[in-house]
Chain A
Amino acid sequence: MTTFLQQVVNGLSLGSIYAVFAIGCTLIFGVLNIVNLAQGAFFMVGAYLGLEIALLGLPLPLALLVALVGGGVLGMASELLVFRVLRLRGGHKWMGLVASLALARLLVGVAQEVFGTAVHGYPPNPFTAIVWEIGGVRVQLLQVIVVITAVILMGILGFTLQKTSVGRAIRTVAFSEDVARIVGVEVGRTILITFFIAGALAGAAGVLLGLLFNVVSPFMGEHMLVKGLTVMILGGLGNIPGAVAGGFLLGLVEVFSVAYVSSAFRDAIGFGLIFLILLVKPTGLFSGFEERRA
């Protein structure tokens, strides 16, 4: 029972990061029907930006903020330099995938050049030291902070999408670009904002993961991208509540399969799950009670 609860704690903290990252991917898909494969690179850049700020001795909330803005700016750049150009030139959807991957490659190359290929860790902070033992279950303060930060980010996003005019514009464009134009939404600007939000979430997820596992490397983005795509499928493409639930689900499944089956099959179980879902319920696990997109 203790092992079980311990895995729940570990799974939730990992899953919250997956959720934050995957929301960005699924938001872009919901609005534009494309997959931005550069999201993983934004995640990596976010982790490095946060690391640099933390190494300067500045407080961690500032690191998170810088990573948010940095990731968001990169997201906007990818829209302005790649996706918008492709849309204007009438390029095929495939080109977007190839281009976003080329962009990711570029960023990984730049990160290697600037920061080197070695694995870095965040400087020691007081949060890792504080550990509570509740009935035999170890809970790090850091884990609690990661989960709370993730939930706050998701809360801000949910509020923005549901209650603000920017959010309404995003949801209208997701419903139909033509309808959005008819009712006077500035489609180009709204798409730009969507890319900013998605990039910002990826950057923030980078800092959170870097803190939780204390590992930052130029190649961490590719791994995360795979997780993000997995969560997207679990939750249904473009389905934000689905991505939240799917992120936590994937975190729990991975942690539990390490604890109870074998660490070797952690990934196999996740991907087996995707395959099963695509065959049985391709619109995602949670499409039954949430049909709306973005």
Chain B
Amino acid sequence: MMAALDGFLASYGNLVNLCLLNTLLAYGVWLALAANMFTLGTGGFMAVGAYCSVYFTMQLGAPFAVAVVAGGLLAAAVALVIGAPVLRLRGDYFMLATFAFTEVVRVIALNWDAVTGGAIGIYGIPRYTETWQLVLLVLIALYFVFALRRSYFGRSIAAIRQDDVMSEAMGVNVFGQRLSLFVASGFVSGGVGGLAAHLNFFVGPSDFGLLRSVDALAYPILGGVNALLGPMVGAIFTTLLPELLRFSSQWREILMGLLILAVVLFLPGGAMSLLRWRPRKAAARRPSTQGAE
């Protein structure tokens, strides 16, 4: 059994790690989406976390765990500074402000040679990230999201997602809840950035642009924002798909585009809406929380 597992990991280890990493990222983005925050800042937070943790391990010689947490904390601090003014803006402006943030981070990464290695990036990063660590972190994230959804805080978030004006009137501190979720999302994204950097031997400014942010958003949206396992399903689906479609890189892009379009058009509630095992009555009592804006 163990031998079979080892053999599997030897040939598909990279893919497994990538799936786990993207699952973590998907839950990080889910934290923001849960309160209707369409964030394009994920790429920026990942970059902050990645460069910070690489600086810690390679320049300061800090232990790996400390470096990843430091990357996450720095990204969280950035999220706090960005979020405090930006979350007062309306939804679309929030999206564009986070987009601008990601691009600013990318340009800084491109030019701050001393820390980021400029356009060339940083090569030869020691590989510290292990599969078991990622599995553990995914399990922790799953438990955290599971507990969050059942808590009082989780209910108030669901209320914000349905109608933020109404929940404000009902006494929910919409701004405070959103800010804390945004900071948490920044922390997770930053941590994932650090883990990714110590998995791929390399970080460069082109890893963290607009496309990275949108890909990260696509995971929970394709999987389904309302289901506990939705972000995970979306992340694994989107990560495995390109590997299954190994014809040529052009055809892969074309088929990826077509498949994502098909999911979006035919399952607008995400892939997890396929599995509606909840009895009808219960479903009627707790209507789908996917409200309009």
Contact = CB atoms under 8 A, between A and B. Distances in A.
A105 B257 CA distance: 6
Interface stretch (A92-100, A159-167, A185-193): A92-100
Given A229-B99, A233-B100, A271-B103, A105 B253 contact: yes
A212 interface: no
B265 A282 contact: no
A101 B96 contact: no
Q: Is the interface of B mostly helix, strand, loop or mixed?
A: helix
Nearest to B215: A101
B120 interface: no
Contact of B253 (A106, A222, A278): A106
Interface in B183-222: 210-211, 214, 217-218, 221-222
A82 B265 contact: yes
Contact of A94 (B38, B86, B251): B38
Interface string A68-107: 0000000000000110011001111111011101111111
Contacts of B256: 102, 105, 109
B265 A99 contact: yes
Contacts of B265: 82, 85-86, 89, 91, 99
B101 interface: yes
A78 B193 CA distance: 34
Contact of B110 (A264, A274, A282): A264
B153 interface: no
Contacts of A93: 38, 292-293
B197 to A, nearest CB: 22
A99 B266 CA distance: 11
Interface size grouping (class) on chain B: 35 or more
A112 B93 contact: no
Interface string A101-124: 111111111101100000000000
Interface string A55-66: 000000000000
A275 B101 contact: yes
Given A98-B214, A103-B257, A226-B210, A271 B107 contact: yes
Interface in B96-133: 96-97, 99-101, 103-104, 107-108, 110-111
Contacts of A271: 100, 103-104, 107
Q: Is the interface of A mostly helix, strand, loop or mixed?
A: helix
Contacts of A282: 89-90, 93
B221 A278 contact: no
A13 B251 CA distance: 36
B264 interface: yes
Contact of B260 (A102, A226, A274): A102
A230 interface: yes
Contacts of A184: none
Given A33-B92, A95-B221, A230-B100, A222 B254 contact: no
A82 B265 CA distance: 7
A279 interface: yes
Nearest to A104: B257
B93 A106 contact: no
B93 A94 contact: no
Given A93-B293, A110-B254, A113-B251, A102 B261 contact: yes
B96 A229 contact: yes
A268 B254 contact: no
Contacts, number: 132
A222 B211 contact: yes
A135 interface: no
B95 to A, nearest CB: 8
Contacts of B97: 274-275, 278
B220 to A, nearest CB: 9
Contacts of B111: 264-265, 268
A101 B214 contact: yes
B96 A278 contact: yes
A237 interface: yes
A89 B210 contact: no
B268 interface: yes
A267 interface: yes
Contacts of A92: 221, 268, 290, 292
B287 interface: no
Contacts of A99: 260-261, 264-265
B103 A226 contact: yes
Contact of B254 (A82, A86, A94, A113): A113
Contacts of B85: 279
A108 B100 CA distance: 23
A109 B256 CA distance: 9
10 contacts: A82-B265, A102-B257, A102-B258, A103-B257, A105-B260, A109-B253, A229-B96, A233-B100, A275-B100, A282-B93
Q: Which 9 A-B pairs have the closest CB atoms?
A: A106-B257, A109-B253, A91-B268, A102-B260, A109-B254, A268-B107, A105-B257, A274-B100, A113-B250
Interface of A: 29, 33, 35, 37, 81-82, 85-86, 89-95, 97-99, 101-110, 112-113, 222, 225-226, 229-230, 232-233, 237, 264-265, 267-268, 271-272, 274-275, 278-279, 282
Given A109-B252, A274-B97, 18 more contacts: A35-B92, A37-B214, A82-B265, A93-B292, A94-B217, A97-B217, A98-B214, A98-B217, A102-B261, A104-B257, A106-B253, A106-B254, A229-B96, A237-B92, A267-B107, A274-B100, A278-B96, A279-B86
